[in-house]
A and B are shown apart, each in its own frame.
Chain A
Amino acid sequence: DIQMTQSPSSLSASVGDRVTITCRASQGISNYLAWFQQKPGKAPESLIYATSSLQSGVPSKFSGSGSGTDFTLTISSLQPEDFATYYCQQYNSYPLTFGGGTKVEIK
């Protein structure tokens, strides 16, 4: 199985901050990497697929980059609605696997 390691596992940030979350795959996954946002008590929602393609309706403050084994999700200017947990997921090979999550909290 491909292990997905996210860092940090949690972070505290202020409104307006630029936030970067990293995701490392245990082996190369080309660009088959997606990011999801999950708010408490809700299902995850898609933000980004294929490493850097923005899901329809997702604001452009979210961006993704990387290739191979190292990937990042960046929120350019954190807003109150962005405080949530973020997960990466690889779909290069089965079984599909997720990172452990990064909880973004208010400082």
Chain B
Amino acid sequence: QVQLQQWGAGLLKPSETLSLTCAVYGGSFSGYYWSWIRQPPGKGLEWIGEINDSGSTNYNPSLKSRIIISVDTSKNQFSLKLSSVTAADTAVYYCARRGKTLYWGHGTLVTVSS
């Protein structure tokens, strides 16, 4: 059964760059899109973007100027970088596998505070 294990810094200052990585264990890495989704505290879900094993990306236009999603197929990992963060970027960030539907990682709370 596939497992998604994610990690990254949980506390950032405004203007810093958020960096998260998600490792995929126990399943195929090819044939899927690998997504990032976030959820501000007490609020709904926002899709950030995705990448496939060939490196083809799709980004949310609302964040496109600040995000880079990359993939390392040798390690079955994919990563998110979000630059110039503000308090509005405080959220639980989830990595997910998108096939027929979304299979979610456990989430990482990222807090932006001075």
A contact set with B: CB distance below 8 Å: 1, 34, 36, 43-46, 48-50, 53, 55, 87, 89, 91, 94-101
Contacts and interface: CB of A to CB of B under 8 A. Distances in A.
Contact of B94 (A43, A48, A50, A100): A43
Given A43-B105, A95-B60, A87 B45 contact: yes
Interface in B87-114: 94, 98, 100-107
A50 B44 CA distance: 21
Contacts of B98: 91
B32 interface: no
Contact of A49 (B44, B47, B100): B100
A98 B101 contact: no
B31 to A, nearest CB: 16
Contact of A50 (B45, B100, B103, B104): B100
Interface in B60-99: 60-62, 94, 98
A60 B10 CA distance: 38
Contacts of B35: 96
B46 interface: yes
B45 A98 contact: yes
Given A95-B60, A95-B61, A98-B45, A46 B101 contact: yes
Interface of B: 35, 44-47, 58-62, 94, 98, 100-107
B57 to A, nearest CB: 11
25 contacts: A1-B61, A34-B101, A34-B102, A43-B106, A44-B45, A44-B94, A44-B102, A44-B104, A46-B102, A48-B101, A50-B100, A89-B102, A94-B58, A94-B60, A95-B47, A95-B58, A95-B59, A95-B62, A96-B35, A98-B44, A98-B45, A98-B47, A99-B44, A100-B44, A101-B45
Given A87-B45, A95-B61, A98-B47, A53 B102 contact: no
B101 A43 contact: no
Contacts of A100: 44
